[in-house]
Amino acid sequence: MIKEYYSEEEFLHEMKLATLKYEMYIAGAGSYGKLIGEYLIREEIPFNGFLDKNEDIEQLLGKRVISYRKLNKENVYIIISSNSLMIDLIQELLEIGVTLNQMCIPKVKSYMLMNLPSIHMNRLLSFRRKYHNKRCFIVGNGPSLSIKDLDRIKGEYSFGCNAIFGTFSHTQWRPNFYCTLDSMIISHLYDGLHGKALDWQCSKFSLINEMSNYDKDHEFILCNAVDDIESIDQLPVFSSECDRYICTVGTVTYFMLQLAVYMGFREIILLGIDFNFAVEKHADGSIKKNDVKNHMDLIEEAMPTKESNILKKKINVLGYDCVGYIDKQYAGYKAAKKYADAHGIKIINASRKTKLDVFEKVNLESCL
């Protein structure tokens, strides 16, 4: 049985013992793996390196990164990165013969709740309750989103995300707040588009562990990300303390919902949140493929092309370029509704076509 640690004291004690017996690796050389590595280094717990499917990564934090197929599975102990790919990491290890008894999942907050640099902390605090009792739109990128509807909400407070900039040549609407958590989008913005897509007036938000290699001029206000921390009723945590951390569930919409509440909005209207994906990944590891598009056409055209290196790498690692972690996202939406209902916040869904049934569904025209 795989061991889960909720107590920091127990986790540190067991890892110190493990280093005396085993070679210890962190599975996943991404953002959460890096945070766990930084945490172990800070606590002076030695480990041998990282495991990752992407063989282009050779080192992280001065430690070697090796592929799963090169791992000597004897006498090893593996720390699983707690991110949206946790199930994938575990399955990858099981396929090469590592047993569940050789793995653990740290669910302690301390390794992720690192102090934000003051520049980001102060910028976040300036938004706290700034829009108290106002309303906003949270715009998703689903195929049901239309330019006509974006024109309708021009002048409203709104959040946009990821490749929403693909619509800008067809509408005067611009989001007041832009969010992205997707490392592929971040790389595309800075490397593929050379920052040109960022030339519009809005506040931009992302995660400090995703932006560390890019945001040299502080274009983005950065948050700490926490994934898989202790929850109640099997639901993810909904953070109202975005200056300390936000919680991730595999969709940027959850990030935008937490920010909207933090900023004081009391009515939140969803638009273009179709909750319908070409590839759905479920909690039991099963994958369902649907004959649908993930994004509206203009947004799809603004994404990296199939020939781009960043998309090739993502397809090589995941097997597909875009996947909806459907059960985890659904649980996040339920957590958002539970928090909103308890705090007198109204969240409604005005998406033209949507499979999301957590929030009250309304016609957009009734909101305008």
Distance CA 128, CA 137 (A): 18
For 169-197, b/e burial (b = at least 16 CB within 10 A) is eebebbbbbbbbbbbbbbbbbbebeeeeb
Q: Are strands 76-80 and 23-27 parallel, antiparallel or unpaired?
A: parallel
Does residue 41 contact residue 65 with C-beta atoms inside 8 Å? no
Strand order across the 287-289 sheet? 287-289, 279-281, 324-325
pLDDT at 197 over 80: no
Mean pLDDT on 157-163: 96
Q: Give the gyration radius of the chain's Cα atoms.
A: 21
At 201, is the pLDDT very low, low, confident or very high (cuts 50, 70, 90)?
Answer: confident
Please give the backbone phi and psi of residue 60, each rounded to the nearest 5 degrees, phi first. -150, 130
Q: Are strands 220-223 and 203-207 parallel, antiparallel or unpaired?
A: parallel
pTM beyond 0.95: no
Q: Are strands 3-5 and 59-60 parallel, antiparallel or unpaired?
A: unpaired
pLDDT of residue 89: 82
Cβ–Cβ contacts within 10 Å for residue 220, how many?
24
Structure letter (DSSP) for residue 135: E
pLDDT of residue 38: 85
Name the least confident of 18-32, 316-330, 331-345: 316-330
